[in-house]
Chain A
């Protein structure tokens, strides 16, 4: 990830803002109504922000916008100093994403180690396999999420909570500047939610990175959160 240094030439890093949206309106293709409307918000670097709100409020849409899957029709989107959609690939390389539907069926044969290693795929030059340093990083990430000993197990044979830890290890191994977590507590029981939020805080401390957590369930993460963004009907209702 040494290319980050030269990429900074085009970055606008004023005010240490990791996520900056100014009057952004966006819509899904072939939809008549906007999915997000006049959204303005900012999330500081090295902080945890919780985006919350009812179903259909636009929480996941916000993440899709940040990752460049949706284009802003109006307004400015600047992620880690890069404008979206112009520098979408750079932002993706500097970010990590945990999807909402991460559960894999029993037929998924990729092992824990393979799934975590996949996180390094875009950084690795062609032909070369993972270096010893990168392999060590994979094992360290697996250890951080508490799955050491299960690294050669197929992911499909793990429980929902364990699978989520695998994806968090994949997030971790990339050493991202920005982490986007979409409903990380949805398939976990009460104990799992507490463990997961502790792990999120541990990742933030370890990587000193910005974390955006999208969740309709505030409770588990509340004590670690620096900012709460409440959304309703595609708009920002409140920022605390």
Chain B
């Protein structure tokens, strides 16, 4: 097997795992009303990677530390101080973006023009390493084990968060676990899809399946996310386009397909009701 084939296979596995992870987590966080915070986490990770250029620290680890800090900051201000989560999330997002800009601005010009900077901002197939595949696989297994271990608690929270809390389910713990898993997934995926495009794997899959079905949305969002990753890598390989942008476009196309399919299904459903009603008459 030559180097390029191996790289392509590794990229396919990595993006499929990353897309699947982000899709499932995005669907859970959407139901918990935490997508804005997730957006902030992604920007905090971008700030972390930007700082890693400046201080020559490990990018994934720095991104993870920044995104976890942002999560704890928002959750602390929300739970302890009583500020609205959406507003603090957006304030933290602007702070993270500002820090990212400053770090990029302060970085030596040689660094800015280097492969490292473009890799962070736009993503690269070269970011895929066997170690990254192992991390993403471990993360996927952790997520699956977590979901199956706490299925009843998670269902209870998704059904009605306040009722679950009133019944003694630790809703804060589960929200935090999902946010931390998202922080790790984003940090591990950032160099692959690029800092500006990682959201496409978090938001687009859940939006694609939201109107399509009300059952098993989390699973389907994972499939759409994984599919977007695979399609993105293949198209990027065939047409030699930037991988991050191609994955984002693939996710957008799947979103359009999902929304169109749901509209067609709804149209057929309503037509059938009209036909049935006319028959009864």
B77 to chain A, nearest CB (A): 13
Query: Which residue of A29, A99, A126, A129 contacts B163 across the interface (Cβ within 8 Å)?
Result: A99
- Interface flags for A87-123 (1: CB within 8 Å of B; 0: not) read 0010011011101000000011110001101111110
A235 to B114, CA, bound (A): 69
Known: A92-B166, A119-B167. A109 touches B214 (CB 8 A): yes
B82 touches A29 (CB 8 A): yes
A121 touches B153 (CB 8 A): yes
B156 touches A127 (CB 8 A): no
Query: Which residue of A93, A99, A109 contacts B162 across the interface (Cβ within 8 Å)?
Result: A99
A122 to chain B, nearest CB (A): 4
B167 touches A96 (CB 8 A): yes
A118 touches B156 (CB 8 A): yes
Q: State whether the Cβ of A174 lies closer than 8 Å to any Cβ in chain B.
A: yes
Q: State whether the Cβ of B6 lies closer than 8 Å to any Cβ in chain A.
A: no
Chain A residues contacting B155 (CB-CB under 8 Å) are: 110, 114, 118, 121
Chain B residue total in the interface (Cβ 8 A): 22
Among B156, B164, B168, the one with the most A-chain Cβ atoms within 10 Å of its Cβ is B168
Chain B residues contacting A93 (CB-CB under 8 Å) are: 167-168
Within 8 A of A (CB), among B149-175: 149-153, 155-156, 159-160, 162-170
**Which residue of chain A has the shortest Cβ distance to B216 in the bound complex?**
A109
By DSSP majority rule, is chain A's interface helix, strand, loop, or mixed?
Answer: loop
**Which residue of chain A has the shortest Cβ distance to B155 in the bound complex?**
A118
Q: State whether the Cβ of B281 lies closer than 8 Å to any Cβ in chain A.
A: no
Query: Which residue of B152, B166, B215 contacts A117 across the interface (Cβ within 8 Å)?
Result: B152
A115 to B82, CA, bound (A): 30
A1 to B152, CA, bound (A): 16
Query: Which residue of B82, B152, B162 contacts A121 across the interface (Cβ within 8 Å)?
Result: B152
Among A29, A115, A121, the one with the most B-chain Cβ atoms within 10 Å of its Cβ is A121
Q: State whether the Cβ of A41 lies closer than 8 Å to any Cβ in chain B.
A: no
A122 touches B167 (CB 8 A): yes
Q: State whether the Cβ of A11 lies closer than 8 Å to any Cβ in chain B.
A: no
Chain B residues contacting A39 (CB-CB under 8 Å) are: none
**Which residue of chain B has the shortest Cβ distance to A167 in the bound complex?**
B163
Q: State whether the Cβ of A130 lies closer than 8 Å to any Cβ in chain B.
A: yes
Query: Which residue of B148, B156, B167 contacts A92 across the interface (Cβ within 8 Å)?
Result: B167
Chain B residues contacting A130 (CB-CB under 8 Å) are: 152
**Which residue of chain A has the shortest Cβ distance to B151 in the bound complex?**
A129
B159 touches A115 (CB 8 A): yes
- Interface flags for A114-144 (1: CB within 8 Å of B; 0: not) read 1101111110101101100000000000000
B156 touches A121 (CB 8 A): yes
A115 to B155, CA, bound (A): 9
Query: Which residue of A97, A107, A108, A114 contacts B167 across the interface (Cβ within 8 Å)?
Result: A97
A51 to chain B, nearest CB (A): 17
B164 to chain A, nearest CB (A): 7
Q: State whether the Cβ of A203 lies closer than 8 Å to any Cβ in chain B.
A: no
B166 touches A97 (CB 8 A): yes
Chain B residues contacting A107 (CB-CB under 8 Å) are: 214
Known: A29-B82, A127-B149. A121 touches B166 (CB 8 A): no
Q: Report, nearest first, the 10 A-B pairs whose CB atoms are least far apart.
A: A92-B168, A122-B168, A118-B156, A93-B168, A121-B152, A97-B166, A126-B149, A121-B156, A109-B214, A121-B153
Binding site for A on B (CB under 8 A): 82, 148-153, 155-156, 159-160, 162-170, 214-215
